[in-house]
Amino acid sequence: MNILGLNYIFHDSTACLVQDGRLTIALEEERLTRQKHTDAFPLQAIARCLEIAGLTPDDVDHVAVSYRPGLDWHKKTAYGLKLAVSSPRGLPLFFHGEVMRFVYRQAAFHRWFESAFPGRRKPTVHYVPHHLAHAAGSFFVSPYESAALLSTDGSGEWATTFKGVGHGRTFTRLGQDYFPWSQGDVYGAVTEFCGFKQNYDEGKTMGLAPFGDAATFGDLVARIVTVDDDARVHVDRSYFDYPSFRGAYSGKFRETFGEARKATRGAPFEQHHKDVAAAFQKNLEESLLAIARHLRARTGAEYLVISGGVALNSVANGRLVRESGFKDVYVMPAAGDNGTAIGAAFFVHNHTLGSPRTFIHDDPYVGNEYSRADIRKLLDEFKLSYRVVPEGTLETTAAELLQQGHILGWFQGRMEIGPRALGNRSILANPTLPGMKDKINAEVKHREAFRPFAPSCPIEDTPRFFEQNVADPFMLKVCYVRPEMRTALPAITHVDGTARLQTVHADTNPRYYKLHREFGKLSGFPVLLNTSFNVMGEPIVESPADAVRCFFTTGLDYLVLGDHLLTKRA
- Nearest-angstrom CA–CA distance, 392 and 17: 33
Burial of 356 (0-12, 13-18, 19+ CB in 10 A): exposed
- The pLDDT profile of the chain, 570 residues, written as one tens digit per residue, is 999 999 998 899 999 999 999 999 999 999 999 999 999 999 999 999 999 999 999 999 999 999 998 788 777 777 766 766 666 565 566 666 666 777 888 999 999 999 999 987 899 999 999 999 999 999 999 999 999 999 999 999 999 999 999 999 999 999 999 988 999 999 999 999 999 998 889 999 999 999 999 999 999 999 999 999 999 999 999 999 866 555 588 999 999 999 999 988 889 999 999 999 999 999 999 999 999 999 999 999 999 999 999 999 999 999 999 999 999 999 999 999 999 999 999 999 999 999 999 999 999 999 999 999 999 999 999 999 999 999 899 999 999 999 999 999 999 999 999 999 999 999 999 999 999 999 999 999 999 999 999 999 999 999 999 999 999 999 999 999 999 999 999 999 999 999 999 999 999 999 999 999 999 999 999 999 999 999 988 999 999 999 999 999 999 999 999 999 999 875
The number of residues making up the chain comes to 570
CA-nearest of 480, 428, 487 to 453 is: 428
Q: What is the pLDDT of residue 95?
A: 60
- Nearest-angstrom CA–CA distance, 397 and 383: 23
Q: What is the pLDDT of residue 360?
A: 98
Domain 2-131 has CATH 3.30.565.10: no
Write phi, then psi, for 303 (nearest 5 degrees). Answer: -130, 155
Q: What is the pLDDT of residue 536?
A: 87
- Nearest-angstrom CA–CA distance, 296 and 316: 17
Domain map of the chain by residue range?
Answer: 2-131, 142-331, 372-567
Checking phi first, is residue 54 left (phi over 0); if not, alpha (psi -120 to 50) or beta?
Answer: left
Please give the C-alpha separations between residue 461 and each of 40, 321, 373, 473, 508, in angstroms, as whole numbers: 42, 19, 36, 13, 16
Domain 372-567 has CATH 1.10.260.40: no
Burial of 92 (0-12, 13-18, 19+ CB in 10 A): middle
Residues carrying an active site annotation: 11
Q: What is the pLDDT of residue 73?
A: 74
Across the beta sheet with 159-167, the strand order is: 170-178, 159-167, 146-152, 303-307, 328-330
142-331: CATH architecture = 2-Layer Sandwich (3.30)
The answer to whether 2-131 and 142-331 have equal CATH topology is: yes
CA-nearest of 251, 523, 212 to 398 is: 523
Q: What is the pLDDT of residue 213?
A: 98
CA-nearest of 241, 235, 280 to 257 is: 280
Statement: the pTM of the whole predicted model exceeds 0.85: yes
- Nearest-angstrom CA–CA distance, 516 and 538: 27
Q: What is the pLDDT of residue 263?
A: 86
- Nearest-angstrom CA–CA distance, 518 and 179: 51
